[in-house]
Structure 1
Amino acid sequence: MTVTGTNAADLGVLALYAAAGFGVGWLFDLVVLGTLRGMAKKRSWTPWMITLKGLGHMPAWWLTLSGAALGLQQGTWNELLVLYVGRTLVVLAGITVTIAALRIATGFVRGYAVAESGPLPSTSIFVNLTRIAIVLLGALIVLNALNISITPVLTALGVGGLAVALALQDTLGNLFAGLQIVASKQVRPGDYLLLESGQEGSVTDIAWRYTTLRTQSNNLVVVPNAKLGQAIITNFQLPDQPLSVIIEFGVAYGSDLDRVEAVAIDVAARVMAELQPDITDWEPIVRFGGFGSSEIQAYAVTRVLAYGDQYSLKSEFIKSLHARFAEEGIEFPFPQRVVHQA
């Protein structure tokens, strides 16, 4: 009995070899890789954990394809069928190897290059570029394995590169702007930005086309990298992480200013110790800024670690200062105007 010009027994042998390869691969995954995963997790071997996670169950598929390739060499096969089945196995092998390499490479990029202590900021742009490079390399390797010359492909890409660049100039502009933003290290994930256009928020990610900001109201602001690269930006996290917060207030002209300064400094220090205990190398400052129409203008300078922390600190300082001034008999003056009638 024949199927597509091939003896049914030969097809059975092919299926048997493939099944045997799958069985060996499944046992290898269960015993060998399972043991390695347990050891890596127990001993915190990060490179091994990344590699084993990237491999996943691919070894079982590779051994299955290897078994099918061995089965294809047994018996008498239709030459055309051997050609197409062989090419299918090569393509499947290339796809699975590319997927595994993609997982491992992006895992190492995330784990080391863009980690908090790594040389690159923790952004998705480098992860995406790594994915593109691995996929292109895998495609070229598969084409070469199929004896398809990649020289015409590269030539076509070179000739069509100019047309593609012109068609995608906005996209490419955003890509290179994103790389420049990341390389300059003036904008990093977690930084709180204020743009000249008025938008503000904490940077959540710098992708290959746009940068995402999360506002205080938990909304997302999506800014194209090219726009961000040309904008005037205030980064509240640079050059130092603690952010200075200025809180204005006023006291009556008859107040003892030395006493006002001492009380305000004490209140600010207590509030900072309660809400910002990690800031231990900073003492609050109180200064008098000018003569108002009905008050002496003053301000307290405090610090917070994150931009959003300033609101709770301001609120607590105002409440505490109001209560303390009431105890000390220090007056917050009401707006008033003296009119002399002739």
Structure 2
Amino acid sequence: MSDDHLSLPLVLINLLGVAGIVVWHLQGRDRPTARLIVQILFFTGMTAVLGFSGILPHRVDETHLKGIVAFLATSARVLWWTHLAWAAIGFVRIYIVLERRPREARLLQDLIVAVVYLGVALSIMGFVFDAPIGTLVATSGVVAIIFGLALQNTLGDVFSGIALTLGRPFVIGDWIQLSDGTEGRVVENNWRSTYLLTAAHNVVVLPNSALAKVGLTNLSRPDETHQITLTVRIAATHMPHFVEDVMRAALRGCEQIVKEPPPVVALKAIDAVAIEAELQFRVAGPANRTPARNEVIDLVHRHCKESGLSLAMPPQSYLYAIPAPSEEPRSRLSGTF
């Protein structure tokens, strides 16, 4: 093909490519469907011009082109591959949606977009600039190994973040407790780390790789209600059923606890000194534990005082009578000193 024969189609392809970029940006991010339609229209127009002109975007056969025409041919192919990538990404952003799982959908979209960009970049280098793809892939593999060894901790955090996102052991807003005792509400979760807001109003930053290795308890599932147990020791001079009735009355008067399911009074043990009762009740959430426990203790004390119940001493304060050692008769020594 002559340079004059290709000049007009190449100019037209470049104009369509630049115009498509401008219109795509003018659409704005809040109109993804309109952006995709514009992208498809301009990409279709560029492909039609390439087809009618006999130009193949995946083959470099115009090596005889010189000057401005060679530049137009290169830029036309680059724009065509770029619009192809954007059209594919537009489909991914709109149609790959996981219902009620926006974080997983976003993660899957980002992974596919990264693959699309990588494939298009390699295609441009190989089909437009005639670079040796095999050598590039081999070189990039060596570079990837070097970077992987240098950034293994960061990559561990990233892949652990992917695993946590797909496994969904928690979401933003959940209250979790780690096996080492760390406890707080999840306020942020990204590719590298998770942020917890503790009850002391401090932010704890946990690398995802460390978080994936420790056991955690999600206190917000299946709901935010949280069970608390409180042990009370009553003097054994009172009847057990009377002790149970008084404890139930104390729990019924508490406004800080959840009424459904109802609180439970479990008589756990009895000895010559005390009746041990365990009060089991739920609160609306982990943040309500302290005020609820305080109210229950106050009401238990009031009801015990009004009902004549006496609190028993803790087991570690028991006094045991230790027999005094027997005195052996003194041996009489013969003689005087």
TM-score (norm 2): 0.62
Aligned length in residues:
291
Q: Which residue of 1 aligns with 2:287?
A: 308
Q: Which residue of 2 aligns with 1:202?
A: 185
Is the CA contact 1:17–1:71 (under 8 Å) kept in the aligned structure 2?
no
Distance in structure 1 (CA, Å) of the matches to 2:14 and 2:160 = 53
Gaps of 5+ in 1: 1-6, 30-51, 116-122
Q: Percent identity?
A: 20
Is the CA contact 1:284–1:302 (under 8 Å) kept in the aligned structure 2?
yes
Q: Which residue of 2 aligns with 1:325?
A: 304
Matches within 5 A, 1:7-46: none
Alignment partner of 1:108: what SS? coil
Distance in structure 1 (CA, Å) of the matches to 2:84 and 2:13 = 24
Q: Which residue of 1 aligns with 2:243?
A: 260
Distance in structure 1 (CA, Å) of the matches to 2:165 and 2:272 = 46
Distance in structure 2 (CA, Å) of the matches to 1:84 and 1:244 = 68
Alignment partner of 1:57: what SS? helix
Q: 1:128 to 1:337 in 2, by over 3 A?
A: closer
Q: Which residue of 2 aligns with 1:276?
A: 258
Q: Which residue of 62, 65, 82 maps to 2:72?
A: 82
Is the CA contact 1:248–1:300 (under 8 Å) kept in the aligned structure 2?
yes
Q: Which residue of 137, 142, 152 maps to 1:154?
A: 137
Tell me which amino acid in the other structure corresponds to 1:286: A
Q: Which residue of 1 aligns with 2:278?
A: 299
Q: Which residue of 2 aligns with 1:224?
A: 207
Q: 1:143 to 1:233 in 2, by over 3 A?
A: closer
Distance in structure 1 (CA, Å) of the matches to 2:11 and 2:145 = 50
Tell me which amino acid in the other structure corresponds to 2:179: L
Gaps of 5+ in 2: 1-6, 54-66, 322-337
Q: Which residue of 1 aligns with 2:177?
A: 193
Alignment partner of 2:97: what SS? helix
Is the CA contact 2:265–2:277 (under 8 Å) kept in the aligned structure 1?
no
Is the CA contact 1:22–1:63 (under 8 Å) kept in the aligned structure 2?
no
Q: Which residue of 2 aligns with 1:108?
A: 97
Q: 1:102 to 1:284 in 2, by over 3 A?
A: same
Tell me which amino acid in the other structure corresponds to 1:285: V
Return the offset for 1:247: 1.4
When the two chains are superposed, the root-mean-square deviation of aligned CA atoms in Å is 5.0
Q: Which residue of 150, 166, 177 maps to 1:167?
A: 150
Return the offset for 1:246: 0.6
TM-score (norm 1): 0.61
Alignment partner of 1:308: what SS? helix
Alignment partner of 1:310: what SS? helix
Return the offset for 1:260: 1.9
Is the CA contact 1:94–1:138 (under 8 Å) kept in the aligned structure 2?
no
CA deviation string 1:192-223 (max 9, x = no partner): 21332x42223456543333323223432221
Q: 1:219 to 1:87 in 2, by over 3 A?
A: farther
Is the CA contact 1:69–1:89 (under 8 Å) kept in the aligned structure 2?
no
Is the CA contact 1:14–1:71 (under 8 Å) kept in the aligned structure 2?
no
Distance in structure 1 (CA, Å) of the matches to 2:38 and 2:205 = 42
Distance in structure 1 (CA, Å) of the matches to 2:297 and 2:251 = 9
Is the CA contact 1:255–1:330 (under 8 Å) kept in the aligned structure 2?
yes
